[in-house]
Amino acid sequence: MTMVVCSAATAAEPTTNAVAFADGGKFKMLYDARQRPQSVLINGEVFIVFNGDANPTENDKGKACPLLVRYDTVARTFSKSVRLGKASSDHHHSPIIWADRDDYLHVLFGCHNSSGTHLISNRPAGKVGELTWNIGPQIAAKLSYPTVFRMQGGKDLIYYRTDGHTSSWTYRVSQDDGQTWQGPDSDVIDLDARGRLDWSSYQTKIRSKDGKYLHVVYTDYDDNKNDPDPKRFFNPRYNGLASNEWKYNLSYVKIDPQIHEVTNAEGVVLKTPIDIVYSMANCEIWDTQWRGAGVPPAVALDQAQQPVFLHVLSEGSLSEHHYYCVRRVGGKWRQTRITGSNHQWNSGHLSIDEAGILHAYVIVGDGYLEGGYMDRHGGGRIEEWVSEDGGLRWQKRRQVSPVQKAYDGWRFNNVQPVVRPDGSAVAGMLLFYGWKNPNDPLARAFLVDESGLSGGRVETK
């Protein structure tokens, strides 16, 4: 195996209600709900990966590097960041991280219709000594939007898109801590299969508490790359062209990777790969009637271990949006409006505590966000809204993003939890990123630690 050289990067700096632990980030410095996890809590330390050390380029995109930083939950201190790979202008190349059952850390980055780079730490997390990295085995020939889960039976599962927009979504399973990976005979979802020209999907997923199943929710859209007729993008609700920016409807499947079985919300075993016609007939849980989204929903599991979704969706126009809570009540899928939002790509987070209270972390703003490269996938203030009656009524609890005067005019996005090695969220720990300039790659990454794992304020070391 080949050794990867690491170099120092940015140190952390304190704020009042959220700690900025890195700067110099570009668009999607921390990724949206499609690509996770970007942190893991193990042996008292949180290991966080992100894109940073960005340099501006002529097209404003900037080139950023995959970085890793360690947060000590007892001392409440951050290490300096280390660089894990070369700079890239492709924001999809953002890294993810997980720990195997021997506590070795795995990092995967550089994935966008490509195999990416798989790194494995030279020692288990928490052991004394310098943490360095070796090149690990290739997981698949091409991956996009990878998400990794620890599953039942000593298995690890990676769920991903197999190639470009209209390609399939599938998974691979490892039974030897990431050394080898095998997938099902048939991919799970391929909306463009069987001659359905250019249909695509964006997907998010969560594993069941016992690690036996994977819950997958997705939006669908016509990518229209081969048909020059612009009328294919006509949106009848808004009486105009909408482009492939808009993703419609919600569909749901449940996967049992032990037997490679896929079922719908009714428990019916499905034929795979699922194409657009079959999906609409068997998997669709919400016909949004031409209301569109950019990012797919955040997902959590309720006390009955049923999926609940947090989805942002257009309303009276394509520049007006609201967040919805989508859950199943009495055998029917219900949608409850939470609050307004300012962009179709605002990626929030949903959690459900031990008392059954729903916590929605939503991105809101004053008017539709339009602007430069950094603004094109949304951003605004992050607010926490709660529901104590299963999602029927919602009340704003507080603002989560920084409130200091120094952050006036900043936008924030892509809220995500810190997770344990088994994938369960750490209560009270959140990550997100923010920026002020609409074009320059000068974003900052933030950690909120209200976990109670230690007292005192956060310091930088």
- What is the tens place of the pLDDT at every residue in 111-164? 999 999 999 999 999 887 789 999 999 999 999 999 999 999 999 999 999 999
Whole-number Å distance between alpha carbons of 407 and 245: 29
Query: CB burial class (10 A; 0-12, 13-18, 19+) of residue 325?
Result: buried
Q: Which pLDDT tens digit goes with each residue over 205-252?
A: 999 999 999 999 999 999 887 777 778 889 999 999 998 899 999 999
Q: Record the tokens describing residue 5, joined without a space.
A: 């050289």
pLDDT in tens, 28-61: 999 999 999 999 999 999 999 999 999 877 777 7
Q: How confident is the model at residue 458 (pLDDT cuts 50, 70, 90)?
A: low
**Do 96 and 178 form a contact (C-beta atoms < 8 A)?**
no
Residue 386: how many CB atoms within 10 A of its CB?
16
Assess if residue 8 is contained within a domain. no
Per the domain annotation, does 413 fall within a domain? yes
Q: Is residue 417 part of a domain?
A: yes
* pLDDT value of position 312: 98
pLDDT, tens digit, 9 for 90 and up, residues 335-359: 999 999 999 999 999 999 999 999 9
In a domain? residue 388: yes
pLDDT of residue 161: 98
pLDDT at 296 over 50: yes
Model confidence at 62, in pLDDT bands (50, 70, 90)? confident
Q: What's the pLDDT at 114? A: 96
Please give the residue that has the higher pLDDT: either 454 or 330: 330
- Residue 104 falls inside a structural domain: no
Q: What is the mean pLDDT of residues 424-430?
A: 96
Find the Cα–Cα–Cα–Cα dihedral 351, 353, 355, 357, rounded to 10°.
-30
Handedness of CA 278, 279, 285, 286 (dihedral sign): negative
Query: What pLDDT is attached to residue 162?
Result: 97
Rounded mean pLDDT, 13-34: 85
Q: Are strands 63-72 and 82-83 parallel, antiparallel or unpaired?
A: antiparallel
Residues spanned by the domain of 188? 139-460
Mean pLDDT of the chain: 92
Answer whether residue 2 shows pLDDT above 70. Answer: no
419 belongs to a structural domain: yes
65-105 per-position pLDDT tens digit = 999 999 999 999 999 999 999 999 999 999 999 999 999 99
CB 267 within 8 A of CB 255: no
In this prediction, residue 196 carries a pLDDT of 64
Residue 1 lies in a domain: no
Beta-strand pair 443-449/63-72: unpaired
What percent of the chain is helix, strand and coil (3-state, nearest 5)?
Answer: 5, 45, 50
217 assigned to some structural domain? yes
Q: At 409, phi and psi to the nearest 5?
A: 85, 0
d(CA 247, CA 334): 19
Residue 362 near residue 322, CB atoms below 8 Å: no
pLDDT above 70 (res 16)? no
Q: How many domains does the chain have?
A: 1
Q: Which is nearest to 343 in space by CA: 309, 382, 307? A: 382
In the predicted structure, residue 424 carries a pLDDT above the cut 50? yes
Which CATH number fits the domain that encloses residue 374? 2.120.10
What is the pLDDT at residue 310? 98
Dist. CA 314–CA 293, nearest whole Å = 6
Q: Is the pLDDT of residue 461 over 50?
A: no
User: Which pLDDT score is estimated for 3?
Assistant: 38
Give yes or no for a contact between 202 and 227, defined as CB atoms under 8 angstroms apart: no
Determine what percent of the chain is predicted with pLDDT higher than 70.
94
